[in-house]
Amino acid sequence: MKNLIEKIKKLKEEKNAIILAHSYQNIEVDEVADFVGDSLYLSQKAKDTNADIIVFAGVYFMAQTAKIISPEKKVLLPNTNAGCLMADMIDHEQMLSFKSKYAGLPVVCYINSTAEVKAECDICCTSSNVLRIVKNLNSSQVLFLPDANLGKWVEKKLKNVEVITYDGNCPVHHGVEVKDIELARKKFPAAKILIHPECKPEVSALGDYVGSTSGIMEYVRKSKDKQFVIVTEKGVADRLERDYPDKKFILIKNGMLCESMKLTSLNEILYSLEHEVNEIILDENIRKRSARCIERMLKVSK
């Protein structure tokens, strides 16, 4: 693997390329990544980079987002089968149908959506900035898609905003039940339970902390506690175990695995960079329209 890593690093330098990796990726991808983080962080890095090529170790909507905000750059997705089940729950026609039922209300789309869906929305968000984004709209009602769990969590947190949600979810997070949290409390009474807001609202209500992947990692960094139950994708627990060997991390249960996120291998990263294949190509009209909602998000998130 060392030889493979060296080849990738050399190619990056030769081609003025960077590799962006999501925190749910296989942990060995971090060895070649320039930036590792959640969707907001990676979007900001894609916007700011001076690289000519962006290799996105993530899933399709993430690579699309990079292309939307950096159209002059070549964006490569090493494995084109890396999709998102949540993003696939709403297409352009379903988006228009949902929006037409509530004419006049601001539409917020989670970054886990396609360019075609983003093009019909007013502003984008991630789990890191969603509270700020919705609050900044100054509206008593908003439409939110595709993640109903995240939308209802926002509604509960903001209290004075009705969040009308599309019926979508992340199957990995949606599969966590209240009984799983209750069992973890009994088995690990000294542990802090850290939950991603893509979980069901009744699950999120039981956490010591609820936040994005970067938020969960930051909580651990600052915490003096030594034991944590991680209620999100396994990649987060893997990185925490690596970075904080003096602390104990318990994944809430088996099956907290986004299979699409695990598809990208170092060999595929090398191949895509070497041959510059699997490039993200977008219709320019859709790109421009979807760029508006992402640019608004980035402006509010500064």
How confident is the prediction along the chain (302 residues), in pLDDT tens digits per residue? 789 999 999 999 999 999 999 999 999 999 999 999 998 889 899 989 999 999 999 999 999 999 999 999 999 999 999 999 999 999 999 999 999 999 999 999 999 999 999 999 999 999 999 999 999 999 999 999 999 999 999 999 998 999 999 999 999 999 999 999 999 999 999 999 999 999 999 999 999 999 999 999 999 999 999 999 999 999 999 999 999 999 999 999 999 999 999 999 999 999 999 999 999 999 999 999 999 999 999 999 87
Structural tokens at position 289 = 């329209």
228 occurs within a structural domain: yes
Residues 99 and 74 in one domain: no
* Residue 258 burial class via C-beta count within 10 angstroms: exposed 0-12, middle 13-18, buried 19 and up: buried
Find the domain containing 201 and state its range: 173-251
- Half-sphere exposure in the Cβ direction for 82 (13 Å, CA): 29
Residue 202 CA to residue 138 CA, distance in Å, equals 26
Residues 38 and 7 in one domain: yes
229 occurs within a structural domain: yes
209 occurs within a structural domain: yes
pLDDT of residue 2: 82
Residues 153 and 103 in one domain: yes
Q: Which of 168, 189, 208 is the last residue of a domain?
A: 168
Quickly count: other Cβ atoms within 10 Å of residue 39's Cβ: 26
pLDDT of residue 208: 98
Residues 125 and 147 in one domain: yes
Residues 209 and 231 in one domain: yes
256 occurs within a structural domain: no
Residues 158 and 188 in one domain: no
Residues 223 and 179 in one domain: yes
8 Å CB contact between 200 and 174: yes
26 occurs within a structural domain: yes
Closest C-alpha among 117, 111, 101 to residue 164: 101
292 occurs within a structural domain: no
Q: Which of 168, 187, 217 is the last residue of a domain?
A: 168
Residues 27 and 79 in one domain: yes
Number of domains, the chain: 3
Residues 161 and 196 in one domain: no
Torsion of CA 220, 221, 226, 232, to 10 degrees: 20
8 Å CB contact between 244 and 235: no
Those residues with Cβ within 8 angstroms of residue 247's Cβ, 6 or more apart along the chain or in another chain: 220, 225, 226, 227, 228, 240
Residues 80 and 14 in one domain: yes
Closest C-alpha among 21, 20, 26 to residue 46: 20
**Peptide bond preceding 78: is omega within 30 degrees of 0, i.e. cis?**
no
CATH of the domain at 233: 3.40.50.10800
296 occurs within a structural domain: no
pTM of the model: 0.94
297 occurs within a structural domain: no
Residues 133 and 183 in one domain: no
8 Å CB contact between 98 and 166: yes
Secondary structure, 3-state, the chain: CHHHHHHHHHHHHHHCEEEEEECCCCHHHHHCCCEEECHHHHHHHHHHCCCCEEEEECCHHHHHHHHHHCCCCEEECCCCCCCCCCHHHCCHHHHHHHHHCCCCCCEEEECCCCHHHHCCCCEEECCCCHHHHHHHCCCCEEEEECEHHHHHHHHHHHCCCEEEECCECCHHHHCCCHHHHHHHHHHCCCCEEEECCCCCHHHHCCCCEECCHHHHHHHHHHCCCCEEEEECCHHHHHHHHHHCCCCEEEECCCCCCCCCCCCCCHHHHHHHHHHCCCECCCCHHHHHHHHHHHHHHHHHHC
Residues 16 and 69 in one domain: yes
Q: Which of 123, 147, 168 is the last residue of a domain?
A: 168
